Amino acid sequence: MNKPYEASPVESKWQQRWADAQLYHTDLKKAKKPFYSLVMFPYPSGDKLHVGHWYNYAPADSYARFKRLQGYDVFSPMGYDAFGLPAENYAIKTGIHPMQSIGENTQTMTKQLSRIGCMYDWNRTVNTSTPEYYRWTQWVFLQMLKHGLAYKKDGNVNWCPKDQTVLANEQAQDGVCDRCGTAVVQKPMTQWYWKITEYADRLLNGLEDLEWPEKTKLMQRNWIGKSEGAEVVFPVEASADAVTVFTTRVDTIYSAAFVVLAPEHPLVEKITTKEQHKHVEHYRSEARKKTDLQRTDLAGEKTGVFTGAYVINPVNEERLPIWIGDFVLAHYGHGAVFGDAHDERDFVFAKKYDIPLKTTIKPADGKNEDAIQNLEICFSDDGILYDSDKFSGLTSAEARKKITAWLESLESGRRVVQYRLRDWSISRQRYWGAPIPVVYDPEGNPHPVPDEHLPWLLPTDVEFKPTGTAPLAQSKELVERTEKIFGKGWKPEVDTMDTFVCSSFYYLRYLAGDDLQHVIDPTTEKHWMPVSMYIGGAEHACMHLIYARFVMMALHDFGFVKHDEPFKKLVHQGTITNQGAKMSKSKGNVVSPDAFVEHHGSDVFRMYLMFMGPFTQGGDWSDTGIKGIDRFVQRIYKLCTTSVDAKAATSSAVTTKLHATIKKCTEDIERLHFNTVISALMELLNTLEGEGSVHPDVAKTLVVLLAPIAPHLSDELWEALGGKGFVLEQRWPAFDPALLVAESVVIAVQVNGKLRGQVTVPAEASQEDVYAAALEEENVAKFIDGNEPKKVIYVRGRLLNIVV
RNA sequence: GCCAUGGUGGCGGAAUGGUAUACGCGCGCGACUCAAAAUCGCGUUCUCGCAAGGGAUUGAGGGUUCGAGUCCCUCCCAUGGCACCA
């Protein structure tokens, strides 16, 4: 009687043996074939790991194990992105210091992570909230400052009234706070910014060579939002002032009918006439009250008011009224546009306010020409110019070039490139983050904290309750420290850094270990970067994944790293939902893996998640079917412990299946299709079970194929089969293409493309042989019905189609 | 509105232009058992037929091809992203 496989004791036994043998410790210096396998590090929350964590980490680990079996020196680290709001909010609620709760959370989380059985090298880990780590966050800031990429600016910032902090544009998409969903308001404030815009072109061009999902690249391209066009200067009538506008359609300039400024535009106050002053002021104060969300609500009608002033169109001296409208964005281009009949939005705006329009572009195909000229419909595509002086008759594309050149010669315009990307605001008025290492002299000028004072410690004598000013402002210790080092009257910066700064270079600090001399030792960086495989959520497409690229490029330019892209290959795992909704604590639909892991073991649970479907697809959670994986594990255990016999013969059918399985597993793990890897192994098991007994070599190969997806079980079986060492120290099997073809094959026989029978022939049979065999088939003969075939198509080893 | 991805049994899903529905779940029948669970065997897209076999079928409709889930066109639906960017 055979014993069933008992996962729990076996799994803890192997986890202990792996740890004792330091099996997952990678010697970075000695590695000959480095493979840097990285998953986005988690926030150490107090909640237990949920199904989503397992769905993310287990397949990533299986891929890393596969690479190790293929002979790579795999480095697979894990750590914690520990600064941030949740710990601080928890502290506000309970009074427990974030340092304490984070410390406890990382401990329990590490324990839970080890239950998955991942090959993490815990000799090198990071916790972004420790002084040893954030001294480097501060160092990066100082480097940015030194190289002119960090600056302080007054301006409107995205402000979350609930979290009482500033948000980066990337964190305030759709006008709501990405943490709590509260509507973001604009608030004037002095903030530190990093000049990510200086890297816009490189961030855009660098995408081309990255093995990233096209979708993600597209999202970054849209976020950077490069657009080429022209700047045109419109002098204000009877004034020395001028309005500069940006346009991508300078070919339409002869049809310009009006100009619209953003309500915040600095010229508004100066140019507004007495008669219009009241209306304009009223409109501006209303605009200020609106949130960004309201202002960008597409359903909302475009509104505006006339300022009473006019500009002169430099190309034809026409007088155009100046309006203000809140659909014009102050921060894009010059916060001003010209309006004309060839833009849908302008067209509607002009009709609403009875501004006279004229057309100067006609469609090349002449379609709807009358309706367009009569201003019944708006033509906004490229076409042919008319009524445009010497440019009449040109196509839009030609006209754009020539008009721009002409404007340049008149000094009334020039070719420019605009980006939608804005500089990264990194200041946060929160406690639980890396302090910005800056101090102010008595005159209020900022000075960097010199490197020798790093880490510039986060003070502990503060209240966590948000008041709208930074919590660090209350720290007596920080003020005393500043005065002691820099002198009387010097004051510390009291803002902390956005946590995305911490995570923008952590992949270097894993490699650096406890190196306190360099952010990363150049030899190690050269050898190990960029990350070979980076796995994480798609929600970071325009945040972490763009910041990390920017910081890597900057560090490259400062001379600290050789590479300028951090992540060569990127994959996003799919999302696991519950009843169609994303799992979240607030919805109360989070599924805990604990009960399943306890009952079936980690291997079964890992495989079950992988068996659900392709890794990048995700899916809706359901536990029906976990039994199927459990049966698979029991059967494979039974086969390897009771049916292995050194005297067993290996049939050619088994050999063919084995090599086909090796091929399938190799290819499908590479493309992260673990679901089909598992079904291929099930098919192989079905074949082997039909054999009675199995040769140890075959069983061992099966176990190695199983190793990436079921690490504990495969080591247990490897040992049971008398294998030496750990299964992970074996080599991934190679398949022999010659053995993929069975001795005899089943050929499908079609008549006129419809399946009418099957014949079994030797693999090397010729078309004639197969055709002859097919005619013997009663059903095939019936459908040919004595007709002479017009055509016979033979696909070797697969199919014969007889056309009559 | 624009862009992207997808739509296959009762369910999760599989399929280099070449036997659609692999693998698994579930379900049905049988074996073992006093019985049940577990396990094992057989069956399981729909439909007509006792059977042999026929017909239909990959969101809908067209097209290319000896042959289309796969390629092309039109449309419908779902999900994700972007969305006053001049």
Per-residue flag: A678 CB under 7 A of strand B: yes
pLDDT given at position A88: 83
- Residue A43 CA, nucleotide B51 C1', distance (Å): 66
Residue A531 half-sphere exposure toward CB, CA atoms < 13 A = 29
Per-residue flag: A748 CB under 7 A of strand B: yes
- Residue A7 CA, nucleotide B73 C1', distance (Å): 55
- Is residue A32 over pLDDT 90? yes
pLDDT given at position A466: 66
Per-residue flag: A217 CB under 7 A of strand B: no
- Residue A571 CA, nucleotide B81 C1', distance (Å): 17
| pLDDT tier for residue A740 given thresholds of 50, 70 and 90 | confident
> Nearest residue to B67, CA vs C1'?
A753
- Is residue A758 over pLDDT 60? yes
- Residue A696 CA, nucleotide B29 C1', distance (Å): 37
Of chain A, the percentage scoring pLDDT greater than 70 comes to 97
Lowest mean pLDDT, pick from A234-238, A337-341, A588-592: A588-592
How is A742-777 classified by DSSP, letter by letter? -SEEEEEEEETTEEEEEEEEETT--HHHHHHHHHHS
pLDDT given at position A787: 79
Nucleotide nearest to A748 (CA to C1'): B19
Q: Which residues of A519-533 are buried (b: 16+ CB within 10 A; e: fewer)?
A: bbbeebbebbbbbbb
- Residue A751 CA, nucleotide B57 C1', distance (Å): 20
C-alpha span between A455 and A140 (Å, rounded): 12
The SS3 call for residue A737 is helix
The SS3 call for residue A438 is strand
- Residue A262 CA, nucleotide B78 C1', distance (Å): 39
- Selected residue with higher pLDDT from A85 and A637: A637
- Selected residue with higher pLDDT from A101 and A586: A101
Per-residue flag: A801 CB under 7 A of strand B: yes
Task: Report the relative pairing of strands A570-571 and A533-535 from DSSP bridges.
Answer: parallel
- Residue A677 CA, nucleotide B5 C1', distance (Å): 23
Whether A507 and A445 have beta carbons less than 8 Å apart is answered as no
- Is residue A159 over pLDDT 50? yes
Nucleotide nearest to A337 (CA to C1'): B86
- Is residue A184 over pLDDT 80? no
pLDDT given at position A462: 87
Nucleotide nearest to A755 (CA to C1'): B19
Q: What is the mean pLDDT of residues A415-432?
A: 90
Other CB atoms within a 10 A radius of the CB of residue A754 amount to: 8
Nucleotide nearest to A685 (CA to C1'): B23
Q: What is the mean pLDDT of residues A17-40?
A: 96
C-alpha span between A324 and A29 (Å, rounded): 63
- Residue A801 CA, nucleotide B18 C1', distance (Å): 9
A587: Cβ contacts below 8 Å, ≥ 6 apart: A581
Whether A44 and A106 have beta carbons less than 8 Å apart is answered as yes
> Nearest residue to B15, CA vs C1'?
A676
**Residue whose pair of structure tokens reads 């190690």 in the numeric block:** A524
Nucleotide nearest to A175 (CA to C1'): B83
Per-residue flag: A544 CB under 7 A of strand B: no
Q: What is the largest CA-CA distance in chain A?
A: 110
pLDDT given at position A289: 74
Task: Report the relative pairing of strands A319-324 and A258-261 from DSSP bridges.
Answer: parallel
Identify the CA nearest to A600 among candidates A631, A568, A563: A631
> Nearest residue to B53, CA vs C1'?
A779
| pLDDT tier for residue A669 given thresholds of 50, 70 and 90 | very high
C-alpha span between A42 and A615 (Å, rounded): 19
Q: What is the mean pLDDT of residues A763-786?
A: 85
Per-residue flag: A121 CB under 7 A of strand B: no
Identify the CA nearest to A474 among candidates A490, A494, A498, A489: A494
CA A728 to chain centroid, in Å, comes to 31
Chain B positions under 7 Å from a protein CB? 3-5, 11-16, 18-20, 22-26, 39-41, 53-55, 66-68, 80-86
> Rounded to the nearest 5 degrees, what angle is found at the Cα of A128, between the Cα atoms of A124 and A134?
105
- Is residue A468 over pLDDT 70? no
- Residue A508 CA, nucleotide B16 C1', distance (Å): 40
Q: Tokens representing A440?
A: 């102010």
- Residue A174 CA, nucleotide B81 C1', distance (Å): 12
Whether A106 and A127 have beta carbons less than 8 Å apart is answered as yes
C-alpha span between A196 and A421 (Å, rounded): 8
The SS3 call for residue A89 is helix
Residues in chain A, total: 804
Nucleotide nearest to A249 (CA to C1'): B86
- Residue A589 CA, nucleotide B25 C1', distance (Å): 23
Give residue-wise pLDDT tens across range A74-94: 999 999 999 988 888 888 888
Per-residue flag: A622 CB under 7 A of strand B: yes
Q: What is the mean pLDDT of residues A287-300?
A: 66
Per-residue flag: A170 CB under 7 A of strand B: no
* Residue A398, Cβ density class (10 Å: 0-12 exposed, 13-18 middle, ≥19 buried): middle
Q: What is the mean pLDDT of residues A731-760?
A: 88
Q: Which long-range contacts (CB under 8 A, 24 or more apart) does A213-217 make?
A: A213/A538, A213/A570, A213/A571, A213/A572, A213/A616, A215/A538, A216/A538, A216/A541, A216/A545, A216/A570, A216/A572
Per-residue flag: A343 CB under 7 A of strand B: yes
Whether A710 and A603 have beta carbons less than 8 Å apart is answered as yes
Q: Tokens representing A246?
A: 């940006």
Whether A561 and A552 have beta carbons less than 8 Å apart is answered as yes
Q: Tokens representing A677?
A: 């890897």
Per-residue flag: A631 CB under 7 A of strand B: yes
Strand B near-CB residues (< 7 Å), A 266-305: 295-298, 300, 302
Rg (CA), chain A: 34
Per-residue flag: A206 CB under 7 A of strand B: no
Nucleotide nearest to A419 (CA to C1'): B85
Give residue-wise pLDDT tens across range A356-391: 999 999 988 787 888 888 998 888 888 999 999 999
Per-residue flag: A663 CB under 7 A of strand B: no
- Is residue A558 over pLDDT 80? yes
Tell me what the pLDDT averaged over chain A comes to: 91
Nucleotide nearest to A542 (CA to C1'): B81
The single-letter code of the amino acid at A424 is W
Strand B near-CB residues (< 7 Å), A 19-38: none
The 3-state secondary structure of A207-245, one letter per residue: HHHCECCHHHHHHHHHHHCCEEEEEEEEEECCCCCEEEE
**Residue whose pair of structure tokens reads 């795992």 in the numeric block:** A573
- Residue A695 CA, nucleotide B19 C1', distance (Å): 32
CA A591 to chain centroid, in Å, comes to 24
Identify the CA nearest to A710 among candidates A26, A66, A79: A66
| pLDDT tier for residue A176 given thresholds of 50, 70 and 90 | confident
Element (H, E) at A167: strand A165-167
- Residue A746 CA, nucleotide B48 C1', distance (Å): 28
Whether A34 and A524 have beta carbons less than 8 Å apart is answered as no
The 3-state secondary structure of A667-725, one letter per residue: HHHHCCCHHHHHHHHHHHHHHHHCCCCECHHHHHHHHHHHCCCCHHHHHHHHHHCCCCC
Identify the CA nearest to A726 among candidates A13, A75, A115: A13
Q: What is the mean pLDDT of residues A502-519?
A: 94
Q: Tokens representing A28?
A: 């970075």
Strand B near-CB residues (< 7 Å), A 426-445: none
> Quick one: CA dihedral A433, A438, A442, A443, positive or negative?
negative
> Nearest residue to B52, CA vs C1'?
A779
| pLDDT tier for residue A1 given thresholds of 50, 70 and 90 | very low
pLDDT given at position A2: 63
Other CB atoms within a 10 A radius of the CB of residue A625 amount to: 11
Per-residue flag: A546 CB under 7 A of strand B: no
Strand B near-CB residues (< 7 Å), A 171-200: 173-174
| pLDDT tier for residue A99 given thresholds of 50, 70 and 90 | very high
pLDDT given at position A520: 96
Per-residue flag: A700 CB under 7 A of strand B: no
**Residue whose pair of structure tokens reads 């014993």 in the numeric block:** A3
pLDDT given at position A527: 96
pLDDT given at position A587: 77
Per-residue flag: A345 CB under 7 A of strand B: yes
Per-residue flag: A625 CB under 7 A of strand B: yes
